[in-house]
Structure 1
């Protein structure tokens, strides 16, 4: 049996490699540039010939890679796979049921409102958290003083909303 500390260390290398591959993918595809996002969201660009579909191709590539990865997770694989995992590679075998996505599957107003706000912020700011983190780490100061403060305010407001909602649910 692996102790919890060792288990946590075993998660670091796959997480770091995954983050590095994600950052490289963002940089190579230039998805760290707000102009790429705006070029995709500007549907009138189709008529002008300036539409930029690269975002959908990057998302499609991510979907395909993810789909291959899911073939190794028991219960989510389409093809028969005798080596399908019940837990992520870096976790203990006793992790219990591994659900990706979480098994609730509930579509409620919180999910819809959260998705809408995320989409609005992404379209308005031109960045989602992944590219913003990449740019902040790469030393782009405009991200640090324009995008991140908005992200933190939104996070605080969302937590306050959840706290209020939890209080009203108790009543």
Structure 2
């Protein structure tokens, strides 16, 4: 019997679980080797930060995607990064400290998720976002309620509405 441990994949392209997850997405959002983002790692303050990138030096705007608690940048690339890249935007989705393939500096405790909640079922109440969004005052903010979509929209029309809302927002604010 071979007791050699299986090495942990260092890139999303090498993770079977990530490919398996895509079966829950509409076919148009599933990545292939040809449509997957470029993966890179950046050293930042001793951490090894993973980025998914769709480069486009001619893009009018670069859209930086941030994920929430319990997810990772690759999931943002699936539902938003790739569709926005197809529209001509450059997109970058990062794995926050302690999430996905980002590794924290030894001796560092990643930010805690204690007290964070995850919900299934009906859409998250908008009033939970208001305290966070109301503190953002130096850049434009626009909130959109997605039809038939919860915290992480998997089924249309939610992902299509989110893609359109982000593209419209960027167009309005880069003109």
What TM-score does the superposition give when structure 1 sets the normalisation length? 0.26
Task: Pick the structure with more helix per residue.
Answer: 1
Bigger Rg, which one: 1
What TM-score does the superposition give when structure 2 sets the normalisation length? 0.25
Considering Cα pairs closer than 8 Å and 6+ residues apart, tell me whether 1 or 2 has the greater RCO. 1
